[in-house]
Structure 1
Amino acid sequence: MELVLSHWVFAFWLSCWFFVSPTYSVEGLPNDSKVRGVNLGGWLVIEGWIKPSLFDGIPNGDMLDGTQIQLKSVTLQKYVSAENGGGSNVSVDRDSASSWETFTLWRVSESEFNFRTTHGQFLTCGSAGCSVFATADTPHINETFQVERNNNGRVHIKLKTNGAYLQATTGNQITADYPQTPGWDDNSATFEMAIIANNLHGDYQLANGYGYNKAKEVFERHRNTFVTVEDFEFLYRHGINTVRIPVGWWIASDPDPPSPFIGGSLEALDNAFSWAESYEIKCIIDLHAAPGSQNGMEHSSSRDGTTGWPTNSDYISQTLDVIDFLASRYSKHPALLGIELLNEPSEVSVPLDLLVSYYKRGYDIVRKHSASAFVILCQRIGNADPMELYQANIGSHNIVVDLHYYNLFDTFFSNLNASDNIQYIYKSRQAQVQALSSANGPLLFIGEWVNEWDLMNGSRLEYQEFGKAQLEVYNAASFGWAYWTIKNDRKHWDFEWNIKNGYLQLGYSLRVEGFSLFRFLGLILSTFHLLLL
């Protein structure tokens, strides 16, 4: 009987160990846990939708870098068009507007702009009496125009070089020879300006919109108040063990980054590491914005919506230098958990072979400074297969693939009700998380997700169930998850608001994966029964 009892005791503790021990654990995190993280989005990389008030004081704030406009002559009632999308003449002869009639602004000052065509050339006119062409590859003074506006959507445009006003001629051309200062009546120097898109509100737009002196005040105030040590204390109290911190490439040139970027993000990142260490929180540095932009979006600090990073080897080399800078500076810091080499490269613009090459070189750079820091590889956004990075053989150890899950940004989700959204998490997302977490190679990280959906007027209970489903499914990811984002003007995106108001209940994620008291007792009783047979 003593032998049987000893066997039962051993089986009991073995059952406890198997049941309480998590399936995966992340090296560097305490208690064999995984990442339970929050993104510090909108802090060191600006996204205007997170805090729109940052842009409130910019003069002509609807004409920031990247704004798309169309111009129509009030006398001819025709649209200004760059023939063939750029590279040749400019005409005023189109009854309707499409891509050739759309120009993207590069802001020089609050009233001075360059006009970029669909194919990337700039409108140019060198002297009084000249005709306007769309042939300049880079903008200088001859490509800079002053825009005068009234309150009815009408504009006058004149040369910066000598102040000559542009006019639409009866020959359907634009020339810089209007003979006097035009009024706002129907004259050949007056155009109707329609703003077609004003979607970019990133670091470039904020800094260039204000100008250096005012922008420095705005950035300093934002960096000192948006995320503070009190936020780390809040995260610690609610069981968060990791922060993912988006940074821009210009951080490596702090305190004097290239214009128009504003220094100070490096000091803020240093503060975050100190606060994290005080509260036993780990840090993932995420290179969110690469030089030239890897996806054309504001969070990659694109100036005008174009994606230049993959087409310029200098940009890629510069990005690797940034990774080297970050790895060198923080590799010995006890709060560092990992470095994410690039956020959300575009599937359309970034070829897989180029991305894999960059990731391999980035991995080697991080390993030069640290044998243990995790190297995180973000999946291409679009329709790319996540397995492409699992099969790429980028590095030998501590590799993580980052997927971003949103029930948004796709017409598929606009037709789902609350129950459909929840079932999509349990069926589609759960199957992928389980498959990738058990695959050979990198660990899986759900690096961005949010307790929001494309559904109007969801109830508090429905949000709770949606959040519960995501926490249960993403908790199975072998590396863990990170919520987007810590603070946000849109309340359901705001982690702190969700927690304080009970819309997101972290108890689901902080209990041991798969733990159930009833299943646990059942396993013990079954083991005891077998030993008595």
Structure 2
Amino acid sequence: MSCYPATDFGLNFVLNFISISMEIVSRYRWVFAFLVCCCALFSRAYSVKKLSGMSKVRGVNLGGWLVVEGWIKPSLFDGIPNEDMLDGTQVQFKSTLLQKYISAANGGGTNVTVDRDVPSSWETFKLWRVSDTKFQFRSNGGQFLSCDGQGDSVSATAESPTMTETFYIEINRHKVHIRLLSGIYVQATSANQLTADYQGVPGWDSNGATFEMTIVTNNLHGDYQLANGYGHDKAKEILMKHRRSFVTREDIRFVAEHGINTLRIPVGWWISLDPNPPAPFIGGTLEALDNAFSWAQYANHPALLGIELLNEPSASAVPIGVLISYYLKGYQIVRKYSSTAYVIFCQRIGNADPLELYQANIGVSNTVVDLHYYNLFDNFYNNMSAMDNIQFIYKSRLTQVQALNNANGHLVFIGEWVNEWNVKTASQAEYQDFGKAQLKVYDEASFGWSYWTVKNARNHWNFEWNILNNFLPLESSSSKRSPRNVMLLTLVCGCFYLYHIL
């Protein structure tokens, strides 16, 4: 194993990442966020360890810790004013006077109208939150709603938001008024236009300035939403407490005592700029990451096992050629600084074959393909019984794992799985059988597996709850234990819930 000093190493690493990311950032802006985030991880002088000589990875994810996910800990967002109107929330507005929806025809590019009976994509706008009362609205095509001043029409033509693209929203339950920063209210006219010329202050009856607001989706609850929702000072206070308390030394000791030898830790791209990341992100994640290595000191040798370059790229959004190019360049950069750290490539989620990564030339040594196995999120599983789910694990999943084990090249890693399914009335014994099937099959993966996640507000996603309440029979599957209690750490570069700013 090798150790590297935290001198010019980290600087060179980030400069290399920045240079390769800029080649494709003009087409796929999401790439840049992931490419720059590894620099801080390598620059911390952590030793790197190979898997040989020890058991396979049996890990747990520290999800929701250094990358906030609201569904893992919903209470983090409880104190935000207008918490249902965070960044990225999709909304629709229906005129109470005309009974028509505000629409940006063709997704934007012209004046908006108020003339649609049934809402769809043109009638759906994404919120950019300036404060709890001021917002910007992005159309389906990417342009922002804009109004120059009193008497002018509202258009969907601005490529970036400024003051003329910022509006106040006044809320009365499901009804809203929209006004310019100057105080003028916009209204739906009899000519089906949206103009800034309502006279006076509207009431909440059926008038031209009153709209019914429908929240279509409100599922983006990440670091950006939390920090922008609370404001810097309050967000800093909340996140400091969360980072100290959500995952602790005792949690690491607990999972190690139950056969876990690896931690998979998602980190956001802003960790590379810690302790002063760009607004609204809050510094401190790098210090918290240091804690994970410190907490593992009671083991024989805490070490960095590998870097995963990206988490869950979408098959529908990311062309395989772009992804392979990204993975290849990321692999080459890691190899400049370590010959032993594993480089992990997550397969595309959705309609994608993991063999596409085996058929690509993206690395020659210590490479791993990460598969995420959930009996959820697809209609395919909706009508399965408990036994159907269990047999699917033993037959289909096992067949795929074995086939990939025998493929030339990369090792196989089940980087995320969970003891949950769509069987609504499952008994504890059925959960145990389901968990036992997953543990047996995923133990076959040549690199190993990692459970999602260590803690969660939803019990069956919560690793500790499953163990303490005897829903996951982990001990029966862990016959291949490490001869030493080695705590390894795999870092996952992730950038969750930032789609609204791309």
Q: Could you say whether these structures have the same fold, taking a TM-score greater than 0.5 normalized by the shorter chain as the test? A: yes
C-alpha separation between the residues in 2 aligned to 1:94 and 1:345?
Answer: 35
C-alpha separation between the residues in 1 aligned to 2:296 and 2:305?
Answer: 11
The counterpart of 2:319, out of the listed 342, 351, 356, is: 351
The counterpart of 2:454, out of the listed 486, 491, 504, is: 486
CA contact (8 A) 1:241 1:280 kept: no
The counterpart of 1:73, out of the listed 89, 95, 106, is: 95
Aligned to 1:509: 477
Q: Where in structure 2 are there 5+ consecutive unaligned residues?
A: 1-47, 482-502
Q: How big is each residue's C-alpha offset from its partner over 1:60-86, in whole Å with a ceiling of 9 and x where there is no partner?
A: 011111111111111111111111221
Secondary structure at 1:32 match in 2: coil
Q: How big is each residue's C-alpha offset from its partner over 1:172-200, in whole Å with a ceiling of 9 and x where there is no partner?
A: 11111111111112221111111111111
Aligned to 2:252: 232
Q: State how 1:13-412 maps to structure 2 within 5 Å.
A: 28-29=50-51, 32-151=54-173, 153-160=174-181, 162-280=182-300, 335-412=303-380
Secondary structure at 2:423 match in 1: coil
Aligned letter for 1:340?
E
C-alpha separation between the residues in 1 aligned to 2:246 and 2:77?
Answer: 15
Aligned to 2:15: none
Q: State how 1:417-456 maps to structure 2 within 5 Å.
A: 417-456=385-424
Aligned to 2:25: none
Secondary structure at 1:180 match in 2: coil
Q: In the TM superposition, what is the alpha-carbon distance from 1:235 to its structure 2 partner?
A: 1.2
C-alpha separation between the residues in 1 aligned to 2:353 and 2:160?
Answer: 37
Secondary structure at 2:121 match in 1: coil
Q: CA RMSD in A?
A: 1.4
Runs of 4+ displaced beyond 2 Å: 26-32, 276-281
Aligned letter for 1:224?
R
Q: Which has the higher contact order (CA 8 A, sep 6+)?
A: 2
CA contact (8 A) 1:238 1:506 kept: yes
Aligned letter for 2:318?
V
CA contact (8 A) 1:422 1:465 kept: yes
Q: In the TM superposition, what is the alpha-carbon distance from 1:278 to its structure 2 partner?
A: 2.8
Q: How big is each residue's C-alpha offset from its partner over 1:142-182, in whole Å with a ceiling of 9 and x where there is no partner?
A: 0000000113x11111112x111101111111111111111
Q: Where in structure 1 are there 5+ consecutive unaligned residues?
A: 1-25, 282-333, 514-533
Q: In the TM superposition, what is the alpha-carbon distance from 1:512 to its structure 2 partner?
A: 3.5
How much identity, in percent, do the aligned residues show? 68
CA contact (8 A) 1:472 1:508 kept: no
Aligned letter for 1:138?
S
CA contact (8 A) 2:85 2:127 kept: yes
Secondary structure at 1:364 match in 2: helix
CA contact (8 A) 2:431 2:472 kept: yes
C-alpha separation between the residues in 2 aligned to 1:366 and 1:277?
Answer: 25
Aligned letter for 1:123?
L
CA contact (8 A) 2:143 2:160 kept: yes
- The count of residues paired between Structure 1 and Structure 2 equals 434
C-alpha separation between the residues in 2 aligned to 1:431 and 1:475?
Answer: 13
Q: How big is each residue's C-alpha offset from its partner over 1:15-50, in whole Å with a ceiling of 9 and x where there is no partner?
A: xxxxxxxxxxx9734853100000000101111111
